[in-house]
Structure 1
Amino acid sequence: MTAVTDQDHTEHPERSENPADPESPGRSEDPGPSGRHDEGPSRADTGSPWDDGLIARRVNGNAGEEQRRVTEPRASTPQKVIPLAYGPQLGARLEALRELVGLSRARLDNRTLAQAGRVLDEAAARRGLSGRHTVVALAGATGSGKSQLFNALAGVPISETGVRRPTTAAPIACSWSDGAAGLIERLGIPPRLRRRPLQATADADDRLRGLVLVDLPDHDSAAVQHREQVDRVLGLVDAVIWVVDPEKYADAMLHERYLRPMAAHAEVMFVVLNQIDRLPGEAAEQVLDDLRRLLDEDGIALGEHGEPGTTVLALSALTGEGVGDLREALGRFVGERGAPARRISADVDVAAARLWPVYATRRRTGLSEEAREEFSDRLADAVGATAAGEAAERAWLRNANRACGTPWLRLWRWCQDRGEPSTGRSTLRGQLDEEATARQRVEQAVRTVAERASTGLPAPWAQAVREAAVRGSQGLPEALDELAVRAGLPPGRPPRPGWWPVAVLAQMSMTALQFVGGLWLLGQIVGVMAPNLGVPVLLMVIGIVGGPLIEWSCRLAARGPARRYGLEAERRLREAAAGCGRARVLDPVAAELLRYREVREQYGRVTGTVARTG
């Protein structure tokens, strides 16, 4: 990128294929006042003692030209790339995360799942690239001396340093071995910005074999595109070396924007305090202790006493003090070849932590049997199951009274029914009021069960449960009314007990005795029969008293069967209402709860913990 202001350095110009070409390494171009690109200041023609910031010491300008040369990528026979292999545990976590995202697509928005999707994409992309290389980024603020450290590790000036900021305009990669082209291409670094170190000693080459070191632009650069490149590359590398200096090691931007959010990546991070040669006496140890304190406050685990965590070192890229310790630590780190998997595992941890509010709950969730029964009872009350049972009981008793009652009482009741005035309009008004009340009861029952089912669930799943209940409640009152008609009283007459014909025959006998006695008395009155009042009167008294007595006895005997008949009618209506409510409301709600339990279990596999579902 060509800079447009004097404050921004330009990209490295295209290098010559000849390493000795004076136009190739260590130079940067900056547009002069005339619009012509002039050579940037070299180490020899600047009088400043620091050429990597106000506090970065100047590299010896009399160093041999051979030490300044950049070793260009060497043409070599293409080597077979051995892809990265994830362990069983990490592979299972990635598969669980993939299942989790798939199950959540219909319930969570794309923004919520975006980071998890990126982790899966990056894990798949990294898995197809070299598993024998470790990509490590050098990141730091303006003047921290990371470019000097980059050159010190490579053994030759590769990355440019200078007084103008930002000095590094684009990432530069340096690979210690072949086969890393795919990894570097993934970072978007063009071939002209890829380098090979000057292999001063075979020992250094062996220790860092497999390392791909990337020098990033300053993360606090004034150029927005530089900061964007830093953020982009930091999301793709396997590890990061944060280079801080005695002046900016406590910078709030560094800690709040980068270190604190990356606390989960402690095992793939190095924090290097550079320029300790500027600190007198024990000041370096004091600054280093304060740096460790700040990292601890950021939640970053420090790899001390053999424990896994961030490696914290102090060095001077200018004098070389401590650079050997970093080289040795890097050698062990790269030799383990575990950084890519640990980086992906940390990415999964971060994604899972951000998904915690939409999956995890500390309360027991689901619908209890008590809540289900209460919902069914509310629906039964809405359709009048109790009233229907009582009506069925009264109908059975009425039928028994008609069959077993005296003819004279039945005739009186018939006349009474015929004499009652018509109440059609009042009945219609009452029916409308009852329907409105029933609808309100159904709606209240649905709201209650939805609230109980969604209690304790994360917001997206609680909303999904409520929406499922609302969808099921549409048309539920009408369906319940139809069921009430079908499942209320059974068609035909109520069943008759075995004693019923005997009672009817006895009642007919009592009526017959009344008629016989009456006719006998009438015959004596008209003189057809001989006078004898005792027998006909006795027959009439037996018929008159026996008829009501038999009716009263039948009523007592009919209470049990009538009650059972009414309870059976109520049970049928309750079961029908419960079945309708279960099919329309409870089953969809249960399906949402089951989906939540599934994703909760998958989330538990992602986090590596046992999911406790409700």
Structure 2
Amino acid sequence: MTTTTTTTRPGLAQRLSALAKVVEHGKGRLDPKLLEEAKALLSRAGDRLKLSSEHTVVALAGGTGSGKSSLFNAISGLELSPTGVRRPTTARTHACVWGLDGSGPLLDWLQIQWRHRFSRASALDKGDSQLHGLILLDLPDHDSIRALTDTEADRLIGLADLVVWVLDPQKYADASTHRRYVTELAGHDAVTVFALNQADRLTTEELAELVIDLNDLLRKEGVEHPSVVPTSAVTGRGIESLKSVIATAVARRRAAIQKLEADLQRLEQKLSQAMPLGEALSVPSSVDEARRMGLTDALCDAVGVPAVGEAMENMYAERSNRYVGWPYPRWVAKFRADPLKSLKLNDIAQEIRGISATSVSAQSAEVANAVQALADGLSASMHPVWRTAVYKAARSRSRDLPKKLTDDLAEVAPQLDRVPVWWWLLKVWQYLLVVAFVAGLAWLAVGLLMPDRLPQSLEWLGDSATLPWVGLMTASVLGLGALSGIASRNFVELGASRERERLEREMRRRVAAVSSTMVVEPVEQELKRHHAFYTALRDLSV
């Protein structure tokens, strides 16, 4: 007996633990009534498992006139519960206990009044040792016209370890009983007994037909293996059979566990119908790297990171014109007609400068679309309730997201007044070449045009042997300046490309950090909750 309890209880404990997790993670997701039913079962199971495992609570339930009280007295062998024709006869629950020790807390939990508690041990001459540990309850009529007793009957039917439904020949198919109770008994076969009472009013043939009809009716309503016992409190027929069924349940000490398991099974079926397991566990519990990158790409487009990078690169090149390149072409270009001005277009350089100087701004609509796309991709196979929850999680901080992106990216916007040191050095070098070229031209002019007018100290300027070399050097300086201008432009373009890559990389890193904090983390919390819920639901159904 002890071994059976020990081997059974861990499985029940694990399933109750799984139910507790279902309740924890199902708040706001499950139907409130179903959630309350689960909470009530957890509370009831916790209370019952703490109380006496040596006692089995058996409730006699039935409608008015079914003979519950007479059957209660017949089983106990004492006139404990009043009988009569009044409706209802039993206004309060009566309890008869076989083995009073340790039953007090259990009777208190059942809320049985002290004056309605009776001990079978007081009638030693009629003691039934096989019923030791039984707490037999005579419930008020479930179809009572008194609301108080009706509520008490419903409460105790839910708390009892085993329920004996007392049916009479005239109302055994009563819709009130079958609609409110019997249809809810699927899976409770082991802890439910049907007593077809008042069998003394029927002939043998009539009783056999009623038993067959009742069995068929119960099977149609989901009771796969109904236990039907014909009884008569008047003649004593079937009383010993019913006592034997009850005694077996009492001796095994498993009725309480079986009742909780049956309640748990019925609740699990309701939960599975409300939230089908299906492919739920295939939904990821985190956002994969590909989706993270996709969100970052979409948000970068929403912020305009590529446009900012391109504008910065163009601005970098345009600004370098004042420092890098052979000065002569710039000076000559100033005297050329500007075709853009003839078309009455704005100055491109000024426009590029304006784009780069403008604060980075995130487009709210595009940001919302990027977030929605992430939620859609992750929740496509989810139950609608969970899909909505993922959407809410993804958008939970959407109001602040555009501003956060704008503020963060503004910190890394390009510095338009920054001039690389090598630009200054190159500018000095180029102007030195300009000076050298001008000096060479002057030397040639003086040496060729007025060699006879030079003072004696400067006669070397007009030396005919030197002038060809001066001309060659002057031409070389011009060529060197042109080549350095071309080379410097290439270096500027390379530097602009690198600067753009650096800027876009840093902006992308910041976008990824913001999206991770404000979008991915809330979504992952919901995904983990979804995974934990369905894992617990799977463990509950094992």
TM-score bracket for this pair, using the shorter chain length:
0.7 to 0.9
Aligned counterpart, 2:313: 393
For each residue in 1:299-328, what CA deviation from the matched residue of structure 2 results, as whole angstroms up to 9, or x when unmatched? 2331xxxxxxx5333344433333322221
Aligned counterpart, 1:522: 445
Matches within 5 A, 1:394-543: 394-398=314-318, 404-411=324-331, 438-458=363-383, 461-489=386-414, 511=434, 514-515=437-438, 518-520=441-443, 522-523=445-446, 526-528=449-451, 529=462
Aligned counterpart, 1:127: 49
Residue 150, structure 1, aligned to residue 72, structure 2: yes
Q: How far did residue 134 of structure 1 move?
A: 0.8
Seen in structure 2, the aligned counterparts of structure 1 residues 550 and 479 have a Cα distance that, compared at 3 Å, is same
SS at match of 2:194: strand
Q: How far did residue 225 of structure 1 move?
A: 2.3
Aligned counterpart, 1:190: 113
Looking at structure 2, the residues matched to 296 and 404 of structure 1 have their Cα atoms a distance apart, in angstroms, of 96
SS at match of 2:57: strand
Aligned counterpart, 1:341: 257
Q: How far did residue 489 of structure 1 move?
A: 3.3
Seen in structure 2, the aligned counterparts of structure 1 residues 220 and 399 have a Cα distance that, compared at 3 Å, is same
Selected match of 2:302 from 375, 382, 385: 382
Aligned counterpart, 2:511: 577
Looking at structure 2, the residues matched to 239 and 281 of structure 1 have their Cα atoms a distance apart, in angstroms, of 28
Matches within 5 A, 1:258-277: 258-277=181-200
Looking at structure 1, the residues matched to 352 and 90 of structure 2 have their Cα atoms a distance apart, in angstroms, of 89
The answer to whether the 8 A contact 2:283-2:382 is kept is yes
Seen in structure 2, the aligned counterparts of structure 1 residues 495 and 137 have a Cα distance that, compared at 3 Å, is farther
Looking at structure 2, the residues matched to 247 and 546 of structure 1 have their Cα atoms a distance apart, in angstroms, of 121
SS at match of 1:230: helix
Looking at structure 1, the residues matched to 398 and 9 of structure 2 have their Cα atoms a distance apart, in angstroms, of 49
TM-score, L = length of structure 1: 0.70
Q: How far did residue 169 of structure 1 move?
A: 2.2
The answer to whether the 8 A contact 1:246-1:275 is kept is yes
SS at match of 2:85: coil
Q: How far did residue 352 of structure 1 move?
A: 4.2
Sequence identity (%): 33
Q: How far did residue 407 of structure 1 move?
A: 0.6
Q: How far did residue 586 of structure 1 move?
A: 1.2
Selected match of 2:279 from 342, 352, 362: 362
Letter in 2 for 1:145: G
Matches within 5 A, 1:229-244: 229-244=152-167
Residue 137, structure 1, aligned to residue 137, structure 2: no
Matches within 5 A, 1:21-40: none
Aligned counterpart, 1:590: 524
SS at match of 1:389: helix
Looking at structure 1, the residues matched to 382 and 357 of structure 2 have their Cα atoms a distance apart, in angstroms, of 39
The answer to whether the 8 A contact 1:271-1:312 is kept is yes
SS at match of 1:290: helix
Q: How far did residue 430 of structure 1 move?
A: 8.6
The answer to whether the 8 A contact 2:190-2:258 is kept is yes
The answer to whether the 8 A contact 2:397-2:518 is kept is yes
Looking at structure 1, the residues matched to 370 and 334 of structure 2 have their Cα atoms a distance apart, in angstroms, of 42
Looking at structure 1, the residues matched to 208 and 254 of structure 2 have their Cα atoms a distance apart, in angstroms, of 31
More moved, 549-558 vs 585-594: 549-558
Selected match of 1:296 from 199, 219, 239: 219
Looking at structure 2, the residues matched to 261 and 215 of structure 1 have their Cα atoms a distance apart, in angstroms, of 21
Letter in 1 for 2:290: E
For each residue in 1:569-607, what CA deviation from the matched residue of structure 2 results, as whole angstroms up to 9, or x when unmatched? 2111111111011112211221232234334444444x1
Aligned counterpart, 1:225: 148
Q: How far did residue 549 of structure 1 move?
A: 5.3
Structure 1: gaps (5+ residues): 1-83, 303-309, 610-614
Aligned counterpart, 1:21: none
Letter in 1 for 2:283: T
Letter in 1 for 2:408: L
Letter in 2 for 1:268: V
SS at match of 1:391: helix
Looking at structure 2, the residues matched to 219 and 426 of structure 1 have their Cα atoms a distance apart, in angstroms, of 86
For each residue in 1:236-286, what CA deviation from the matched residue of structure 2 results, as whole angstroms up to 9, or x when unmatched? 211101122333333332222112223243321112233444444544444
Seen in structure 2, the aligned counterparts of structure 1 residues 286 and 565 have a Cα distance that, compared at 3 Å, is farther
Q: How far did residue 553 of structure 1 move?
A: 5.2
Aligned counterpart, 2:459: none
Looking at structure 2, the residues matched to 563 and 435 of structure 1 have their Cα atoms a distance apart, in angstroms, of 20
Letter in 1 for 2:242: L
Looking at structure 1, the residues matched to 267 and 350 of structure 2 have their Cα atoms a distance apart, in angstroms, of 66
Aligned counterpart, 1:92: 14
Looking at structure 1, the residues matched to 509 and 473 of structure 2 have their Cα atoms a distance apart, in angstroms, of 52
The answer to whether the 8 A contact 1:513-1:539 is kept is no
More moved, 539-548 vs 244-253: 539-548
The answer to whether the 8 A contact 1:382-1:442 is kept is yes
SS at match of 1:473: coil
Q: When the two structures are aligned, how many residues end up with a matched partner?
A: 516
Residue 211, structure 1, aligned to residue 134, structure 2: yes
The answer to whether the 8 A contact 2:66-2:168 is kept is yes
Letter in 1 for 2:406: D
Residue 563, structure 1, aligned to residue 481, structure 2: no
Seen in structure 2, the aligned counterparts of structure 1 residues 491 and 300 have a Cα distance that, compared at 3 Å, is farther
Seen in structure 2, the aligned counterparts of structure 1 residues 427 and 512 have a Cα distance that, compared at 3 Å, is closer
Q: How far did residue 405 of structure 1 move?
A: 1.7
For each residue in 1:429-459, what CA deviation from the matched residue of structure 2 results, as whole angstroms up to 9, or x when unmatched? 9999997772221222233334444444456
Q: How far did residue 175 of structure 1 move?
A: 1.8
Seen in structure 2, the aligned counterparts of structure 1 residues 401 and 293 have a Cα distance that, compared at 3 Å, is farther
The answer to whether the 8 A contact 1:510-1:542 is kept is no
The answer to whether the 8 A contact 1:360-1:600 is kept is yes
Aligned counterpart, 2:100: 178
For each residue in 1:370-404, what CA deviation from the matched residue of structure 2 results, as whole angstroms up to 9, or x when unmatched? 33222111111122221233234335545666655
Looking at structure 2, the residues matched to 427 and 462 of structure 1 have their Cα atoms a distance apart, in angstroms, of 44
Letter in 2 for 1:365: V
Structure 2: gaps (5+ residues): 452-461
Looking at structure 2, the residues matched to 253 and 432 of structure 1 have their Cα atoms a distance apart, in angstroms, of 80
Q: How far did residue 334 of structure 1 move?
A: 0.7
Q: How far did residue 198 of structure 1 move?
A: 9.3
Seen in structure 2, the aligned counterparts of structure 1 residues 521 and 293 have a Cα distance that, compared at 3 Å, is farther
Aligned counterpart, 2:456: none
Residue 320, structure 1, aligned to residue 236, structure 2: yes
For each residue in 1:322-356, what CA deviation from the matched residue of structure 2 results, as whole angstroms up to 9, or x when unmatched? 33222211111110011112223333334444445
SS at match of 1:487: coil
Looking at structure 2, the residues matched to 556 and 428 of structure 1 have their Cα atoms a distance apart, in angstroms, of 21
Task: Say what the alpha-carbon RMSD is for the aligned residues.
Answer: 4.4
> Which of structures 1 and 2 has the larger relative contact order (alpha carbons within 8 angstroms, sep 6+)?
2
